[in-house]
């Protein structure tokens, strides 16, 4: 049974300020305790405001290790790639060593990209933090309703007919995204209300299959009280 903790904010700016402060604390505690902070980033547009604020936090960037929850099969540098947004809004502005930023090599094609990324993830048993978004249909990363959420023991899986373009993607599996000390969903905008209500009611949307031992935190500005 997925344990959900809801954090509701009236304004997106308040959500971001709170989340960035909590992320900074979590990162610096991980670095103090284990000398590193391993984070998997959310795709889509929602996290942009968060990534922009992360540029300015106080931390030892040389201890940060960046991964991605999913990637679209597009050439490296394409404006529609998830890593392009993270790089332009944040990662290109802080001194994280390039060797510690693990982009999903989808420019190799979905199958080879997924195989390569699964290999890269073998050395990491769990993320310190996984950031995820939520689609209007309840998808997260590139795990879509009616599609497979896991594929044998592979950490990264191919997605061939994603309803959200582009159709071809690579996603971390539900199991791999669940291997985390903390999982935070960031969900803003009234267009996500139905997906959140379905989730809260216990519907088996893909986001409901992310099952870290410590449960899941949902940061949202969407009003669910009236329902
Ligand atoms: C993607 C994302 C996807 C995204 C949600 C929400 O590749 O599109 O990984 O899972 O997080 O679709 O997208 P928005 O933040 O743009 O609403």
Token code pair at residue 168: 């071809």
Peptide bond into 122 cis (omega under 30): no
Q: What is the pLDDT of residue 152?
A: 85
Listed residue (142, 86, 81, 68) closest to 107, CA to CA: 81
Question: What residue has token string 């969903």?
Answer: 185
Beta bridge partners of 130: 40, 183
Ligand 1 atom with minimal separation from the 46 CA:
15
Task: Report the phi/psi class of residue 138: left, alpha or beta, with left for phi > 0 and alpha for psi in -120 to 50.
Answer: left
Ligand 1 pocket member 140 (CB < 6 A):
yes
| The model's pTM | 0.98
Residues 103-158: pLDDT tens digits?
A: 999 999 999 999 999 999 999 999 999 999 999 999 999 999 999 999 888 999 99
How many alpha carbons lie under 13 Å from residue 12 in its C-beta half-sphere?
Answer: 11
Residues 62-77: pLDDT tens digits?
A: 999 999 999 999 999 9
Flag whether pLDDT at 222 surpasses 90.
Answer: yes
Residues 184-193: pLDDT tens digits?
A: 999 999 999 9
Listed residue (80, 91, 28, 83) closest to 54, CA to CA: 91
Mutate to test the pocket of ligand 1, among 44, 80, 156, 195 (most ligand atoms within 8 A of CB): 44
Mutate to test the pocket of ligand 1, among 68, 135, 137, 149 (most ligand atoms within 8 A of CB): 135
How many angstroms does the Cα of residue 83 sit away from the middle of ligand 1? 12
Residues 160-184: pLDDT tens digits?
A: 999 999 999 999 999 999 999 999 9
């Amino acid at each position: 049974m997925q344990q959900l903790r809801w954090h509701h904010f009236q304004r997106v700016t308040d959500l971001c300020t709170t989340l960035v402060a909590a992320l900074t604390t979590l990162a610096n505690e991980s670095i103090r305790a284990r000398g590193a902070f391993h984070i998997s980033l959310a795709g889509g547009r929602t996290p942009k405001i968060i990534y922009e604020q992360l540029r300015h936090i106080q931390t030892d960037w040389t201890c940060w290790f960046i991964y991605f929850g999913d990637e679209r099969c597009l050439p490296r540098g394409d404006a529609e790639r998830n890593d392009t947004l993270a790089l332009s809004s944040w990662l290109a502005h802080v001194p994280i060593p390039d060797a510690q930023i693990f982009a999903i090599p989808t420019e190799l094609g979905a199958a080879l990209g997924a195989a390569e990324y699964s290999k890269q993830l073998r050395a990491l048993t769990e993320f310190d933090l996984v950031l995820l978004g939520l689609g209007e249909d309840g998808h997260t990363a590139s795990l879509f309703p009616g599609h497979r959420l896991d594929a044998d023991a592979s950490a990264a899986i191919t997605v061939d007919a994603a309803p959200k373009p582009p159709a071809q993607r690579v996603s971390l599996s539900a199991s791999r995204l669940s291997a985390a000390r903390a999982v935070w969903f960031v969900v803003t905008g009234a267009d996500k209300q139905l997906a959140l209500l379905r989730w809260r009611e216990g519907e088996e949307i893909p986001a409901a299959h992310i099952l870290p031992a410590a449960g899941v935190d949902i940061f949202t500005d969407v009003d669910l009280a009236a329902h």
